Structure 1
C-alpha cells in the first residue's frame, strides 16, 4: 500500500454488505470515535457491518475491545502465521480468554504463510507455523467459532494440517487467492471462501476461474483493508467503504447482479459468524 495515493472516492452504495475481514487498527483506528467514523463512511456505501481481525496479541486485545464500541463491529483473534513464534503459554491463555468474548466471532487469522520466511526478519519458520495453526484449530473447536485461515503460497501445507488435525465445523479461507483446483477442494469440504479486491486485479486469472465455482452460500466478501484495494485504485489506502468496488468486479466475473451478490454474501456472513 502506498500512502502517496489519495483514498478512492466513495462508491455508489450497494447494500446490504458485510466486510468479512478488515483490520480497523491498521486503517488508523485507535479510539471509539475512530471506529465510528470508519463505519459511518462504510455505511454511506452500504456496508452495514465489519469483522476486524487480529494478527498479533496487541491487535487481538484491541479488536475485542473495539467490537464493544460500535454495534456494527465484530472481531476475530489469533496470531498471524508469520508471528507464530509468539505463541507461548501466556499468549495461549490470553487468546483463549479473548476468543470466548461474545463479540469475537472467529478464531483468526491463522494458517500458513510460505512467502515471508527468509524475506521477513523474525518471521516464524514453517514448523512453528504448523504448530500454531494446529493449536488455533483446536481453539476454534473448543470455542465453537469459525476458523479463519490465512494461506499464502501454502495450499498443500494448509490442507495437510487441516486433514491431520480435523477441521472445525466452520472454516473460512480469507482472501482466497488460489486457483480452481483448490477452490473445488474447499467447496466440496463445505468450507467458506472470502474474496477480496484481488479478484479485480488484471493478473488474477486463476482466481477468477475459481470464483465462478463458489456457491452463494459459501461466499464471503472482504476488503482486508488497508490492503488489497481493488482495481483501478490498487496501491491506494483501502477501507471498508471500498467493498462495493470489489463486489461489482466480482459480479462481472460470476455473471450475477451486484445487488444479488450483496444480499447473498451478507446472508452468508450472518450465518457463518452468527451475527
Structure 2
C-alpha cells in the first residue's frame, strides 16, 4: 500500500481526459481526502471524468452509491480474480460463497451508470495453483455477464498473458475488451491489438525500468489507447510510492505523448473520445 503522503498536483493538461480505472473506495488512514475533493483536484488537472472500479461486493456497492452522487463518475463492478478465488476456496473474509458473491455483482451491474464489467481476469502472482480453476471460472462468468449486458470488460492480467489470451479465445469476447494497466511488451501488445482490444496505460509506463511498456504504448493506435491511475496504487514517476489519485493521469499522459511523439493536445482529445466511445456519456 502507498504511504500516507499524496503526490503533488501535476501541471494541468491542455484538454480534458478520462481516468479509465480508479479505486476511490480505498480509504486512506493518514491525511484522508474525500471523493469530492479528489474529483475536484482531478478536474483542476484536466482529468474531468473517471471510471470508478469496485472489485469486490463491498466496493461494488460503494461504487453504485458514489456514481449516483458524483456526475463526473461512472462505474465498473466485478470480483477481482484474487477475491473470486478466495470466495471459491471458502477463505474470503466476507464468508460469501462464490455463487452468492457473483450473484450480487451481476445484480449491481444492471445499474444504468455501471458501464463496464471489471476488473476480472487472471492473477498468477498472488493466487497459487489451488485458485487457478476458480479464477478461470470467474473470468468466463464475467465475460458472459458483459455479453449479456452488452458492456465492455476490463481485464486484470498479472503474470498471465498467455492464459488470458487462451481463455478469451476459447470463449466469446464482449463488444469491447480493455487491458487494464497493460503490463506486457510490444509483442503482447500486438497480440491484443490484433484482437481489436484497447490498451490502458497506468503510471507504470513512466517508470525508468519500463522501456518495454513505452514501446508497447508507442505502437498502439490512437483509437485504441486509454489512460488510468489504478489509484491509490502505481503513482507515476517522479512520485512513485506516494498515494495516487486521478489527477496524476496528467503526468502519465505527458509521458505517453513523449513516448509516442504525439502532440499532447491531440492525444488528450483522442483519449477522451475513446473513453466516450466505450462507456457512453457521463
Q: Does 1:145 align with 2:116?
A: no
Indicate if the aligned counterparts of 1:83 and 1:124 stay in contact, CA closer than 8 A. no
Q: Does 1:102 align with 2:112?
A: yes
Q: How does 1:116-265 map to 2 (within 5 A)?
A: 116-118=126-128, 125-265=131-271
Secondary structure of 2:233's counterpart equals coil
Match of 1:111 in 2: 121
Q: Deviations over 1:192-217 (max 9, x none)?
A: 11001010011111111111111111
- Partner Cα distance (1:97, 1:227) in 2: 28
Match of 1:90 in 2: 100
Q: Does 1:9 align with 2:18?
A: no
Deviates more, 1:85-94 or 1:252-261: 85-94
Report the Cα offset of residue 92 of structure 1.
2.4
Report the Cα offset of residue 165 of structure 1.
1.0
Match of 1:62 in 2: 62
Alignment: residue pair count: 267
Aligned structure 1 segments of 4 or more residues deviating by more than 3 angstroms: none
Q: Deviations over 1:42-73 (max 9, x none)?
A: 11101111011112110011111111011001
Report the Cα offset of residue 124 of structure 1.
6.7
Indicate if the aligned counterparts of 2:2 and 2:232 stay in contact, CA closer than 8 A. no
- Partner Cα distance (2:225, 2:27) in 1: 24
- Partner Cα distance (2:16, 2:150) in 1: 26
What's the C-alpha RMSD, in Å, of the aligned pairs?
Answer: 1.6
Report the Cα offset of residue 231 of structure 1.
0.5
- Partner Cα distance (1:273, 1:100) in 2: 14
- Partner Cα distance (2:238, 2:52) in 1: 24
- Partner Cα distance (1:192, 1:34) in 2: 30
Q: Deviations over 1:117-166 (max 9, x none)?
A: 24xxxx97111100000000000000000011000000011001001112
Match of 2:94 in 1: none
- Partner Cα distance (1:124, 1:259) in 2: 47
Unaligned runs of 5+ in 1: none
Match of 2:93 in 1: none
Unaligned runs of 5+ in 2: 88-96
- Partner Cα distance (1:11, 1:96) in 2: 37
- Partner Cα distance (2:2, 2:20) in 1: 23
- Partner Cα distance (2:2, 2:114) in 1: 30
Q: TM-score, structure 2 length as denominator? A: 0.91
